[in-house]
A and B are shown apart, each in its own frame.
Chain A
């Protein structure tokens, strides 16, 4: 029996096909059957989804989340993380390896995929560890994990201090076509800093980590990429220098991509004022110049991808002295409105925004999605770019609440999130449009 539905009245924005125009989207058996002229007769259509005033885009994909399972289920599980993802308009996420046990083996990769199958919400693509135990010493069994289903490798959170290990990681991963995703921080230079080093760290008396700690590692890894080949993806760019170096490396034709997080293009280090632990993350929030550079990088395509670095932490891990507080914030449910706000402010086109949140992530991970081409899986996000809402912690789908945006007024939200033709999220009417 053929099951079909139609998404009517929206503007389809699909950079993979160069489309930005009103279309109705016909979905059959979980597959995109056709993009129809707006208002076309569709005798066969079953369910109708009203997308008037909305954008209909290929499902958003977040290449950088922490789902905390196995091991830290009190912060987040694959299921709650996937629920948070679909509530934020994401149909797929790639989860980092710093679980417990660490995802440095096929067994853990398989476990995460099993949990994802049970949750049955967003697609979850595990990222394997580069090194065993994230220790930065010996390569993990990248080939075995590839067979089990990883889409990239990363020691995210634990910078790879050994240059020779980084070189081998690039070389070895290239056999499997896997990108190496790097958290760029020279720990020696960072010297235990807990926020950006600058006027605010000086004023607050907090240990600073200088932008140079990030820049030095970006420089090293670009040199290694040039030498060894492979695919390098630089996570959460946060400095003027890092953006400049990635831009220059791209001009030289290197296989380098980069991402930026909503918090790094929205907030500055001033958010730490009052010792707000929800403004503590790594890389830290930086200066206005850095924010401007990240925004410029998004605008000119130096930064390919918007990713959240969704990092759930329990309240008790943030309700402590600033020095002791855990790094990171949740991001899946705020990424879209923050990205829309940024896009409006810098004049980023709607197509470019969708490219950075869907097509480019799919390309990086080598996964389905990122397109509404006929025959593709019906992973679709219907975005109401004008929906006004206020971030209330009790409405968050994530298990954790660690976000500096509590109480903030947002514009733009996922009205419907569809994975494989199945509606997995609908915007609540009360919390949505006024």
Chain B
């Protein structure tokens, strides 16, 4: 089944076929970025709005390049969530933008569920570019593409995700998608940043060496330096000693292990320079693939007429069952 949903809110709940279709489409678009003239007319006349309530250079630029390579008009708006609280609500902002008839809105927001919230209330397709600690689906997809390029089939791989899993939307998108595609997922991190509830979906361990043993893929998460001083860990030095990925730890993984990181990296904290720049690192491939994934997502979502029926995310079946 191809991906026919109106929005892209998260990878949880997507079928194997939908995920595969998204990644396949991205793989096809990769070639455009290799050309001398990196532009196709596919989205000519379409307007793509990017609304970022959080600072992000890389994701925003990646979307912008993707949109421009597809010949879409790209309009970027940075908003501050804190000033928005005092003035216009997210809903009002979105309704106003929706009234300008864009063909897709890309939303980055610090609150989990913000993209779902808008998807239930506006006409235009919503692309979640990161909602709080919840999901970052295009990052998940570019990770899938990167893994697939190196490893072929994702089913059967052991993928170890290391770091601040609690606050990581990258971890969640990957966890859910990798499981759907048949990978075995291990999560590694300090007990303060790795709630044991994750064991419903993955193996969890607080020991990096154990977690990376025989892994096919190691995915490092950025440790947010702001967490220091909030008692999630004492210091970044100590964090690095226990959870920083160095060559010694990499040696425990499979010889052909690949290492991913969503960036921006803290060199010498969660990943040593030797590893980040080493032969197993595919970090730059991820960045390249990010463009292709975002081109694919824009192609699939923004390239539709507005008359198609809206798939409404239902929030209440649970309740009806309980009460009825």
Contacts and interface: CB of A to CB of B under 8 A. Distances in A.
A43 B166 CA distance: 74
A206 B318 contact: no
The 8 closest A-B pairs by CB, nearest first: A205-B134, A275-B113, A274-B315, A205-B133, A321-B111, A205-B112, A408-B323, A323-B111
Contact of A205 (B89, B120, B135, B318): B135
Interface string B10-21: 001000000000
A408 B112 contact: no
B35 interface: no
With a 10 A CB-CB cut-off, give which of B120, B316, B320 has the most chain A CB atoms: B316
19 contacts: A203-B172, A204-B113, A204-B134, A266-B322, A266-B323, A275-B112, A275-B117, A276-B316, A319-B89, A319-B91, A321-B114, A322-B117, A324-B85, A404-B316, A405-B319, A407-B316, A409-B320, A409-B323, A410-B323
A41 interface: no
A205 B169 contact: yes
A190 to B, nearest CB: 15
Nearest to B113: A275
A205 B85 contact: no
Interface string B293-307: 000000000000000
Contacts of B135: 205
A205 B168 CA distance: 8
A275 B315 contact: yes
Interface of B: 12, 85, 89-91, 109-114, 116-117, 120, 131-135, 166, 169, 172, 195, 197-198, 200, 313-316, 318-320, 322-324
A185 B172 CA distance: 29
A341 B320 CA distance: 13
Centre residue among B89, B169, B197, B322 by max chain A CB count within 10 A:
B322
A165 B204 CA distance: 42
Contact of B111 (A197, A202, A271, A322): A322
A235 to B, nearest CB: 23
Contact of B197 (A202, A207, A271): A202
A316 interface: yes
Contacts of B111: 321-324
A274 B85 CA distance: 22
A326 to B, nearest CB: 13
Contact of A404 (B90, B197, B319): B319
Contacts of A316: 89
Given A279-B319, A408-B319, A410-B323, 8 more contacts: A199-B200, A201-B197, A204-B112, A205-B172, A320-B91, A323-B110, A324-B85, A341-B323
Interface in A205-249: 205-208
A273 interface: yes
Contacts of B172: 203, 205
Given A199-B197, A323-B111, A408 B116 contact: no
A36 interface: no
A236 B148 CA distance: 51
A405 to B, nearest CB: 6
Interface residues of A, number: 37
Contacts of A404: 316, 319
A406 to B, nearest CB: 8
A206 B113 CA distance: 8
B323 A321 contact: no
Contacts of A321: 90, 109, 111, 113-114, 117
A267 interface: yes
A323 B319 contact: no
A270 interface: yes
Contacts of A320: 89-91, 117
Contacts of B200: 199
Contacts of A341: 323
Contacts of A274: 116, 120, 313-316
A262 to B, nearest CB: 10
B316 A198 contact: no
Contacts of B112: 204-206, 275, 322-323
Nearest to B172: A205
Contacts of A319: 89, 91
Interface in A279-321: 279, 316, 319-321
A263 B314 CA distance: 20
A370 to B, nearest CB: 28
A14 to B, nearest CB: 28
Contacts of B316: 274, 276, 404, 406-407
A324 to B, nearest CB: 7
Nearest to A270: B318
A126 to B, nearest CB: 32
Contacts of A203: 12, 172
A205 B131 contact: yes
A408 B316 CA distance: 10
B323 A338 contact: yes
Nearest to B118: A321
A401 to B, nearest CB: 14
A87 to B, nearest CB: 18
